[in-house]
Amino acid sequence: MIFMDDLVEIYDYLYSNLEDVSSYKEIAYGIQFSVMDNTIRIFKSKKKGITLDLSQCRDENTASKVNEVYEKTLGKSENLKSVSYPFVTPPLVGSDEVGKGDFFAPIIVCAVYLDKEQYDRLYEIGVRDSKDLSDKRIKELAAKIKEVTKNYSIIKVSQKKYNEMYHETNNINIILAHAHSAAISHTYEKHEFKNVLVDKFGREKIIINNLSKYDLSINFQTKAESNIAVAAASILARDALLKVMKQMEDFYHMTFPLGANRIVISTGKIFVKKYGAKELEKVCKMHFKTVNEIL
């Protein structure tokens, strides 16, 4: 919907240039989100065009900052004309992972190659960090990303494989580094590239060494998801994770919550009662303290 695309473009820019911005929700004639726990609304109508509503913002400093960024990016225009290229300009490969902090989940890493035209297209359809998207929206955007580019690779480290690797390395970031390396390498085999952007997590030297046979410029940045290539990778990885979790639920006939909270512990106890402690290593990360509370 073009109506929503305009507002989402504005939101995406505000999200990239302000701190503590929540995900947005659709409201009548617009969208609503919060900045530093202050409610912000953006509306669009044929008569007034796009308008920023700060009437629900309690903090004057936050309202002033939001308005400053809004005026700077939009001014009096109804459309965001320039596409932001945080950290690295396309063409590039973005790489990101999901599942790191989830007890009942594998590790999934994805690398996505985008040229400038593909990057701009994904920006236009609302691609952004998967953590700000509902599961339904993840599935929708994943399908659109796969229509725009075929040059991507998804690496899945099953829970059983993860536990074996962790037993050898005793470090989750080493496992992540090898998975990122594999995803980037497989993507290079589909389409050669120079620039790589990875969401920073540590153990950069492993990735650099693993990919030393290629002539690459590899960048590691925190909050790299503000770049559309990394955001696209996070969406494809999340979509793959949702599919794996659905397969687990169908196989074991029970729901596996993400995270590592009290609900996860309760689920673990039910699982062990039904399938035994030995089976646990096939569905979880065994080095989590959660295991001790379950057993």
At 197-213, the pLDDT tens digits run: 998 887 899 999 999 99
**Summary mean pLDDT of the chain:** 89
d(CA 228, CA 81): 16
Tell me the mean pLDDT in the region 164-192: 96
Chain segment 79-95, per-residue pLDDT in tens: 444 456 888 999 999 99
What local confidence, expressed as pLDDT, does residue 77 receive?
42
CB atoms within 10 A of CB 264: 21
Rounded Cα–Cα distance for residues 263 and 86 (Å) = 37
Is 90 exceeded by the pLDDT of residue 55? no
CA distance 110 to 91: 17
Size (the chain), residues: 295
pLDDT confidence of residue 191: 95
Average pLDDT over residues 234-257: 96
124 band by pLDDT with thresholds 50, 70 and 90: confident
Lowest mean pLDDT among 124-133, 156-165, 199-208, 286-295: 124-133
227-237 per-position pLDDT tens digit: 999 999 999 99
What pLDDT was estimated at residue 76?
39
Spatial distance between the Cα atoms of 279 and 285, rounded to a whole number of angstroms: 12
DSSP string, 120-183: HHHHHTT---GGGS-HHHHHHHHHHHHHH---EEEEEE-HHHHHHHHHHH--HHHHHHHHHHHH
Task: pLDDT band for 117, please (50, 70, 90 cuts).
Answer: very high
pLDDT of residue 255 exceeding 80, the answer is: yes
Residue 71 has pLDDT above 90, yes or no: no
Instruction: Please compute the mean of the pLDDT values over residues 154-173 and round it to a whole number.
Output: 96
Listed range (154-158, 242-246, 256-260) with the worst mean pLDDT: 256-260
CB-neighbour burial class of residue 188 (10 A; exposed 0-12, middle 13-18, buried 19+):
buried
Question: Topology of domain 92-246, per CATH?
Answer: Nucleotidyltransferase; domain 5 (3.30.420)
Q: What is the value of pTM for the model shown? A: 0.72
Q: What is the pLDDT of residue 81?
A: 42
C-alpha 138/C-alpha 141 separation (Å) is: 5
pLDDT at 282: 95
Helix (H) or strand (E) holding 188: helix 172-190
**Can you give the pLDDT at residue 257?**
92
Domain boundaries, the chain: 2-73, 92-246, 247-294
At 11, the pLDDT band (50, 70, 90 cuts) reads confident
Alpha carbon distances (Å) from 136 to 130, 133, 141: 11, 8, 9
